């Protein structure tokens, strides 16, 4: 029995998972963001609560966190959207949880889940793009997670796709990053702009009533045919396609897996993204790659963190 923990910029989720990757129970709460101390205490409390309901002892805890990671030393170096930096994360959590702890970037573990048991099962060259508060990236090459020299590779959300774009969010000081152009945060910005241009639209009316212009609202209104909401989704899809075009030319993946909360929008985002990819990508890469949504949906990070824990236990010879 392991716990997979997905730490997001808006919410964090923990799942109780057995050795067959069966999810027995999960808990999701808002991410504490006032300070690093609050964040760490919140993580520990959530895991302790879930572990107390486990029918068997917890063999390990796997973490997917949205941070630059020093993999060999188990350190969280810096994070864009959460207050987590310069921390020996693995040592800290081992001390608080009294269990083996394994750590990786949240999009890396999401990609691992999709390759092991999800939408990209059996593929060896895969790029995962997670669309949430920010944008995460995971690269699978040769069937294994690509981590770079120190473990902090695949920060795809901070690939610049518009040099004249707005300043990126959180602790990133760049401009026009993939994240600031195509994330859930970007969607809210586009929704406010579109509502201002179309005051009679259902989107503008919803915002005027005080509804939050997040992915759930804009997706629902787009599915219902509101032109303003469709325009917002087209814009997100366009920039997702621009990002995929660079990645397909560089990495020649078999599959793009799109995950995160915005992946619930499905073809509202994927259709315009595929169109851009088909128009701008180089042949044959653009013609061979598949673009699919994550089988695990927004749970991909949590299930991937559980995969990480199970894989590390297996590699160490620990029975589970």
Domain ranges of the chain: 2-110+299-315, 123-294
Higher local confidence (pLDDT), 252 or 320 = 252
- The answer, yes or no, to whether residue 319 has pLDDT greater than 60, is no
Give, in order, the Cα–Cα distances in Å from 314 to each of 19, 47, 110, 265, 292: 10, 22, 19, 36, 29
158-180 residue pLDDT tens: 999 999 999 998 778 899 999 99
Q: Any idea what the Cα angle at residue 298 is, between residues 293 and 300, rounded to 5°?
A: 80
Average pLDDT estimate for 144-153:
86
- What pLDDT was estimated at residue 317? 65
- Residue 320 pLDDT more than 60? no
Domains 2-110+299-315 and 123-294 share a fold: yes
- Mean pLDDT on 211-230: 95
151 pLDDT higher than 90: no
CATH number of 2-110+299-315: 3.30.420.40
Secondary structure element (H or E) that encloses residue 110, with its range: helix 106-117
Q: Is 28 helix (H, G, I), strand (E, B) or coil?
A: strand
Q: Please, what CATH class does the domain formed by 123-294 belong to?
A: alpha beta
Contact, 294 vs 261, CB < 8 A? Answer: no
| Average confidence score pLDDT of the chain | 92
Kindly report whether the global pTM for this prediction surpasses the value 0.75: yes
Q: List the one residue out of 253, 269, 258, 174 whose CA is nearest residue 219.
A: 269
Class of residue 56 by CB neighbours under 10 A (exposed 0-12, middle 13-18, buried 19+): exposed
pLDDT at 83 over 50: yes
For the stretch 271-317, pLDDT in tens is: 999 999 999 999 999 999 999 999 987 788 899 999 999 988 887 76
Kindly report the number of other CB atoms within 10 A of residue 48's CB atom. 12
State the DSSP H helix or E strand holding residue 231, giving kind and residue range, or none if neither.
helix 227-251
Given this model, what pLDDT does residue 169 score? 84
């Amino acid at each position: 029995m392991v716990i997979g923990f997905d730490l997001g910029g808006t919410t964090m989720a923990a799942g109780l998972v057995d050795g067959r990757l069966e999810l027995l129970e999960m808990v999701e709460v808002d991410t504490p963001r006032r300070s690093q101390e609050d964040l760490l205490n919140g993580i520990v409390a959530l895991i302790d609560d879930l572990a107390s309901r486990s029918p068997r002892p917890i063999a390990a805890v796997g973490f997917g966190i949205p941070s630059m990671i020093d993999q060999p030393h188990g350190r969280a170096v810096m994070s864009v959207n959460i207050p987590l930096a310069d921390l020996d994360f693995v040592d800290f959590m081992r001390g608080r949880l009294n269990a083996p702890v394994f750590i990786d970037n949240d999009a890396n573990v999401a990609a691992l889940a999709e390759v092991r048991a999800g939408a990209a099962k059996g593929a060896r060259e895969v790029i995962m793009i997670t669309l949430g508060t920010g944008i995460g990236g995971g690269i699978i090459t040769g069937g294994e997670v690509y981590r770079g020299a120190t473990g902090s590779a695949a920060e795809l959300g901070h690939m610049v796709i518009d040099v004249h774009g707005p300043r990126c969010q959180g602790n990133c000081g760049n401009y026009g990053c993939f994240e600031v152009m195509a994330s859930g945060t970007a969607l809210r910005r586009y929704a406010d702009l579109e509502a201002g241009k179309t005051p009679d639209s259902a989107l503008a009316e919803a915002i005027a009533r005080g509804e939050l212009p997040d992915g759930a609202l804009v997706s629902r209104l787009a599915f219902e045919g509101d032109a303003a909401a469709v325009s917002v989704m087209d814009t997100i899809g366009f920039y997702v396609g621009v990002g995929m075009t660079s990645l397909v030319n560089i990495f020649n993946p078999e599959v793009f897996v799109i995950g995160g909360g915005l992946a619930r929008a499905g073809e509202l985002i994927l259709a315009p993204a595929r169109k851009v990819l088909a128009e701008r990508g180089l042949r044959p890469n653009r013609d061979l790659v598949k673009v699919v949504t994550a089988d695990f949906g927004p749970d991909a990070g949590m299930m991937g963190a559980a995969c990480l824990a199970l894989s590390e236990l297996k590699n160490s010879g620990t029975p589970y």
